[in-house]
Amino acid sequence: RNRNPRQQRRSPTPGREGSSPPSPAGHHHDTGPPGLESEPGSLRVATTLQKKPLPLYLCSPFADAALVKGNFKTIVMLPKYVDIMEWVAVNIYDFFTNLNEFYGCISETCTAQSCSTMSAGPSLNYLWTNRDGKQVSLPAPTYIDYVVTSVQQLIEDENVFPNNANHTFHPSFPSTVKTVYRQLLRVFAHIYHAHFGSILHLRSEPHFNSLFAHFLAFGREYQLLEVRDIKGEVNSPTVGVGALWERWKEKGILEG
């Protein structure tokens, strides 16, 4: 299983669980940069009574722009003779790499001034959980930097993402990648909410939508994402990318 360099092992489509820079990425307790530990509940939801216009990413034709037509089920299925842990590891690496590249293209518009919170909708702000368990509100670029640093450190740690076929995956790998996945979802959600205009300006909405649909399909297929991760808590209104997920399910692009 030689995943070195990983770039040579790509998933089938374009692009495929703290607080100190060095740390896992996701929902984590950390005091400085990232770790990967923001609990699913570490978000702030506020409801509003006034109905607001739909964001562009939920409007036609932008919501339906895609490179891949049809259902993503066949794309995410485990290939014959491939170890499931290896399949998950390779795809997470690809998703991380592609998402990081997209963020790099729009990062100049994501500043502490323009994005003072890690928002993913008018009623949704993600909080970072420090190592001491305290939840803090961070500017989006800081939050995303913590996520990227944490995930990169995990990927480069052969105890977590082994490159040698003689090394087995640690028993904690499933829970670790779930945390990574939730944090990557939050980066997707922020880009859709705050920077989709930049994606449109680059004429990259088909690429970004296909990457995100692939990410969602893979996450649900391998139980890396819960519905509440995508839509919010059960009794809260559908917010942010949760509505996009519902739309794609209705169109048969994704399954529940």
Which amino acid, residue 23? Answer: S
Q: What letter would DSSP give residue 26?
A: E
Residue 195 annotated as part of some ligand binding site? yes
pLDDT (average), residues 185-198: 96
Residue 105 annotated as part of some ligand binding site? no
On whether residue 56 sits in a domain, the answer given is no
Read off the pTM: 0.80
Residue carrying the six token digits 């003072």: 116
With 60 as the cut, is the pLDDT of residue 46 above it? no
pLDDT-based confidence at 121, cuts 50/70/90? confident
pLDDT-based confidence at 234, cuts 50/70/90? low
Q: What is the dihedral of CA 15, 142, 28, 127, to 10 degrees?
A: -110
The beta strand positions in 16-170, using DSSP E, are 26-27, 36-37, 43-45, 118-121, 124-126, 128-129, 135-136
On whether residue 194 sits in a domain, the answer given is yes
Q: What percent of the chain has pLDDT over 70?
A: 77
On whether residue 63 sits in a domain, the answer given is no
On whether residue 61 sits in a domain, the answer given is no
Q: What letter would DSSP give residue 53?
A: P
pLDDT-based confidence at 235, cuts 50/70/90? low
The per-residue pLDDT for 172 is 95
With 70 as the cut, is the pLDDT of residue 227 above it? yes
N-to-C CA span, the chain: 32
Residue of higher predicted confidence among 75 and 69 = 75
Radius of gyration of the chain (CA): 17
On whether residue 104 sits in a domain, the answer given is yes
For the chain, how are helix, strand and coil distributed in percent, rounded to 5?
A: 45, 5, 45
Specify the number of domains making up the chain.
1
Please say whether the dihedral angle defined by the alpha carbons of residues 200, 71, 190 and 232, taken in this order, is positive or negative: positive
User: What CATH number did the domain enclosing 124 receive?
Assistant: 1.20.140.30
Residue 190 annotated as part of some ligand binding site? yes
Q: Are 41 and 186 a contacting pair, CB within 8 Å?
A: no
Domain of 109?
Answer: 6-45+74-250
With 80 as the cut, is the pLDDT of residue 112 above it? yes
Where residue 118 falls (left for φ over 0; alpha for ψ -120 to 50; beta otherwise) is beta
On whether residue 60 sits in a domain, the answer given is no
How far is Cα 49 from Cα 195, in angstroms, rounded to an integer? 25
How far is Cα 196 from Cα 194, in angstroms, rounded to an integer? 6
Among candidate residues 159, 23, 50, 154, the one with its CA nearest the CA of residue 96: 154
On whether residue 58 sits in a domain, the answer given is no
